[in-house]
């Protein structure tokens, strides 16, 4: 539940605002930035394009909640063949409000890859351990989810054990989860430890303010290597809009892996940004069991099969509500959807999560970005492998029918039918979604890196990127933990840099800037 209030800035009657540090985006990366800066005594304003809505407003009206909390009302496509439905948050608290609260540490082999391939120093397991511990403590991460009601996960675990496949209880940022199965549309019980309950609240406790409904549409430079102000549009009640300029000494961009590079490109600050967006692919399977599973009575999932981690494949259950069951069969005949919904207590949803090899390009010619995806041929091969492995697991778990993520395909009842269905499938028929985008502004010392290893945008002194965009590559596993640990590391590096600058200014007899929030 909300422990600390969020301080709001009322900008309805002002045209310009000044602050020391402007954080753009109040999601996972932005909230860490806001909290760390405010704790260091800086005068912080966090602007957020989406609305601020908190626990009492979250309900089981999935359609309404999706429209309220997601960008574009739910899904924005990555264009290409196959089309990929991408979902991300647009609300105060960002992805933490609509995600599953899974909080994984970065898989060690990924950190090793970053070190070997990108020469990334100071981001190894040992260096990041303290940050993960801090994040896990603050978000109350635990693996103690009750198994009661989570029969879908239990069936998966049992089958994995039969095959001797690695399966683990998942670490989640939860306190007293009541299994409402509504994680993806705002947890109405307040069990999920979102940024609103934790880092953003901590930032506000130290004086930071939040300005919701405020989209930064342009950053204007001041000289050749600094940004001077952010130009913003503020959404007012009753559909009205007004413009506000925000001046700041330092800018922290945390709009997420699509919006951060889009803003940089639109502002002409990094013309070649966003050329190599990476992501994970989610393949959804609907499985019918001989006896009721009541998957809607559990939480998102409690177990994850990690046997094929090195191949970039994870398998787990998924949130199961009638809306999601129906959406899984959206390319099927209405009668099939109705039948599935009538039998819904026997059905459960599962996800195979793939570390995609494809890269996408962000086109920033218009107000909203367009994402063009180039589907890598190996992703189709991995798609087929994932279908085979997930079906094996689900049949092992007792499934009697499975809908594969292939548009319009009949349900399969045996591994032989899976092979047949995959033989005739084309890449354009793959039904794919993604909820994890990253690495569009990778950090590092290499020539294609967009940011330095302290998150600073190359060529600029006062812009820091602090979100999923700076990951050097995709990581296979859910990224919130990694984003937060990297954000901590970056803020440590930046804050100590700034403290040094303050000290020098003071010893030379120049007054260090005082925290301020002037509304001019």
Ligand X SMILES: Cc1cc2nc3c(=O)[nH]c(=O)nc-3n(C[C@H](O)[C@H](O)[C@H](O)COP(=O)(O)OP(=O)(O)OC[C@H]3O[C@@H](n4cnc5c(N)ncnc54)[C@H](O)[C@@H]3O)c2cc1C
What residues make contact with ligand X under the rule CB under 6 A?
24-30, 47-50, 87-91, 94-95, 98-102, 184, 215-216, 254-257, 259, 263, 435-436, 467-468, 478-481, 483
For residue 251, the minimal CB distance to ligand X (Å) is 11
When the beta carbons of 94 and 456 are compared against ligand X, the nearer one is 94
> Which tokens belong to 113?
């890859």
Q: Which residue has the tokens 């045996």?
A: 414
Least distance from C-beta 220 to ligand X, angstroms?
14
SS (H, E, C) 73-109: HCCEEEECCCCEEECCECECCCHHHHCCCECCCCCHH
d(CA 378, CA 356): 9
226-to-98, 458, 474 alpha-carbon distances in Å: 34, 11, 29
Of 276, 202, 219, nearest to 446 (Cα)?
276
**Alpha-carbon span 122 to 475, nearest angstrom:** 18
Closest to ligand X by CB, 444 or 481: 481
Distance CA 434, CA 425 (A): 20
Closest separation in Å from C-beta 377 to ligand X: 26
Q: At 347, give phi and psi (nearest 5°).
A: -105, 150
The answer for residues whose C-beta is within 8 angstroms of residue 398's C-beta and 6 or more apart is 155, 159, 289, 290
CB-nearer residue toward ligand X: 95 or 298? 95
Please say which residue, 74 or 427, places its beta carbon nearer to ligand X. 74
- Tell the smallest beta-carbon distance from residue 114 to ligand X (Å): 17
Choose between 254 and 452: whose C-beta lies nearer to ligand X. Answer: 254
Q: How far is the CB of 197 from ligand X (least distance, A)?
A: 14
Nearer to ligand X, 50 or 190 (CB): 50
CB of 103 to ligand X, least distance (A): 6
- DSSP code per residue over 483-512: HHHHHHHHHHHHHHHHHHHHHHHHHTTPPP
Distance CA 126, CA 374 (A): 36
Question: Smallest gap, in angstroms, from Cβ of residue 375 to ligand X?
Answer: 21
Decide: helix, strand or coil at residue 258: coil
Q: Which is nearer to ligand X, 175 or 400 (CB)?
A: 175
State the nearest-atom distance from the C-beta of 212 to ligand X, in Å: 9
C-alpha dist (Å) from residue 100 to 95, 358, 373, 469: 9, 24, 26, 20
For residue 388, the minimal CB distance to ligand X (Å) is: 25
Of the two residues 456 and 479, which places its CB atom closer to ligand X in the complex? Answer: 479
Spatial separation of the C-alpha atoms in residues 484 and 30, rounded to whole Å: 9
Q: How far is the CB of 482 from ligand X (least distance, A)?
A: 8
Closer CB to ligand X, 314 or 395, in the complex: 314
Q: Which residue's CB is nearer to ligand X, number 62 or number 90?
A: 90
φ and ψ at 222, to 5 degrees? -130, 100
User: Please, which residues have CB within 8 angstroms of residue 197's CB and are 6 or more apart in sequence?
Assistant: 1, 2, 3, 190
């Amino acid at each position: 539940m909300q422990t600390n209030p969020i301080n709001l800035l009322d900008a309805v009657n002002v045209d310009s605002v000044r602050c020391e540090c402007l954080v753009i985006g109040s999601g996972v990366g932005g909230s860490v930035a806001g909290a760390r800066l405010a704790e260091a005594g800086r005068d912080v304003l966090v602007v957020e394009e989406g609305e601020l809505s908190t626990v009492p407003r979250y309900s089981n009206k999935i359609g309404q909640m999706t429209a309220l909390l997601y960008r574009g009302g739910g899904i924005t496509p990555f264009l290409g063949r196959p089309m990929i439905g991408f979902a991300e948050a647009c609300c105060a608290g960002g992805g933490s409000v609509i995600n599953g609260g899974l909080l994984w540490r970065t898989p060690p082999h990924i950190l090793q890859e970053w070190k070997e391939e990108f020469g990334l120093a100071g981001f190894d397991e040992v260096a990041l351990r303290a940050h993960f511990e801090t994040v896990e403590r603050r978000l109350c991460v635990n693996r103690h989810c009750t198994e009661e009601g989570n029969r879908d996960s239990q069936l998966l675990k049992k089958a994995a054990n039969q095959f001797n496949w690695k399966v683990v209880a998942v670490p989640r940022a939860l306190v007293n989860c009541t299994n409402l199965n509504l994680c993806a549309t705002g947890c109405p019980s307040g069990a999920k430890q979102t940024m609103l309950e934790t880092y953003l609240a901590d930032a506000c406790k130290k004086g930071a303010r939040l300005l919701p409904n405020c989209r930064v549409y342009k950053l204007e430079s001041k000289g050749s290597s600094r940004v001077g102000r952010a130009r913003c549009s503020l959404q007012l009640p009753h559909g009205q809009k007004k413009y506000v300029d925000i001046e700041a000494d330092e800018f922290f961009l945390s709009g997420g892996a699509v919006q951060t590079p889009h803003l940089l490109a639109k502002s002409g600050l990094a013309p070649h940004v966003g050329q190599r967006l990476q992501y994970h692919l989610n393949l959804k399977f609907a499985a019918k069991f001989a006896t009721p599973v009541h998957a809607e009575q559990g939480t998102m999932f409690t177990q994850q099969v990690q046997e094929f981690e090195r191949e970039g494949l994870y398998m787990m259950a998924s949130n199961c509500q009638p809306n999601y069951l129906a959406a899984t069969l959206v390319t099927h005949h209405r009668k099939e959807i109705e039948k599935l919904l009538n039998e819904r207590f026997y059905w459960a949803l599962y996800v195979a999560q793939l570390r995609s090899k494809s890269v996408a390009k962000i086109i920033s010619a218009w107000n909203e970005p367009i994402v063009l995806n180039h589907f890598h041929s190996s992703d189709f091969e991995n798609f087929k492998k994932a279908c085979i492995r997930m079906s094996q697991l689900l049949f092992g778990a007792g499934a009697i029918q499975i809908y594969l993520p292939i548009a319009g395909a009949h349900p399969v009842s045996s591994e032989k039918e899976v092979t047949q269905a995959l033989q005739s499938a084309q890449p354009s028929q793959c039904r794919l979604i993604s909820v994890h985008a990253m690495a569009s502004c990778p950090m590092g010392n290499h020539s294609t890196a967009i940011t330095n290893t302290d998150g600073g945008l190359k060529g600029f002194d006062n812009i820091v990127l602090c979100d999923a965009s700076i990951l050097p590559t995709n990581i296979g596993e859910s990224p919130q933990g990694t984003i937060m640990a990297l954000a901590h590391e970056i803020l440590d590096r930046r804050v100590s840099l700034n403290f040094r600058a303050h000290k020098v200014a003071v010893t030379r007899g120049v007054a260090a800037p005082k925290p301020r929030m002037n509304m001019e």
